[in-house]
Amino acid sequence: MRRRRQALGLFLAGQRQILGTPAEDYLAGRGIQLRDLGRQPAALRFHEAIWCSEAGHPLPALLAAICEPGGRHIATHRTYLAQDGAGIWRKAALRHPKKVYGSYGGGVVPLWRGSSGLPLKMAPPGEQIVIAEGLEAALSIVVSVPEQRVVCAVSLGNLGSISLPPAITTVIVAADNDGDNPAAAQALQRAIDRFTAEGREVRIARSPVGKDFNDCIVSR
């Protein structure tokens, strides 16, 4: 419980408005134009200086709230940012530029509510949801098909732990192109089996180019 409070405090310490910050510049460099949506996802924030143990000093970071499907904040995802030699904001040149503070098993980053505009726990009967593994891949789907409800699972291993409300009858898994990776294939199958056992229709969507749907929009 203490760690959850700290994770929430970390998120709340960030700026609500990421437009006009390095976080927006970073996402725009990945082909994700949040301004096209008319508003930014409330699950995203920007912090100008969060301590990074790997770097040994604070770094700017894009923050994302990881929540239980009921809406309770359980962890905070950080993407550390830095400018390259040309002044372009990118992921910091670290071994682990992405970190999660807190335990996020079963949680998601609730990025977009789709056409209904309702939170996940109040999803209308028969609604479908798109679940992507990574934050940038999920946001790429948001800006491409904003009529869809989209969440980020944070990791493939977490995908099969997500509990969805009964109203969600169709799950579209935006799977990464992991190639011949038995562990990834097994993790994906576990998630498919779990959602199918719950009586949901499961569809798999993959980017036609690159590793994920972010590569798809970057390649346009």
Q: 83, 101, 119 — which closes off a domain? A: 101
Query: pLDDT tens digits, residue range 135-177?
Result: 999 999 999 999 999 999 999 999 999 999 999 999 999 999 9
Unique residue bearing structure tokens 């949901």: 200
Q: Are 84 and 90 in contact (CB under 8 A)?
A: yes
CATH of the domain at 135: 3.40.1360
Domain count across the chain: 2
What percentage of the chain exceeds 70 in pLDDT? 100
Q: Range of 182's domain?
A: 109-218
Residues 133 and 152 in one domain: yes
What whole-number distance in Å separates Cα of residue 124 and Cα of residue 127?
A: 6
* Terminal-residue alpha carbon distance, the chain: 44
Q: What is the pTM of this model?
A: 0.96
Q: 66, 101, 136 — which closes off a domain? A: 101
Residues 149 and 192 in one domain: yes
Query: pLDDT tens digits, residue range 61-110?
Result: 999 999 998 899 999 999 999 999 999 999 999 999 999 999 999 999 99
Residues 7 and 65 in one domain: yes
Q: 101, 128, 159 — which closes off a domain? A: 101
What whole-number distance in Å separates Cα of residue 127 and Cα of residue 121?
A: 12
Q: How confident is the model at residue 129 (pLDDT cuts 50, 70, 90)?
A: very high
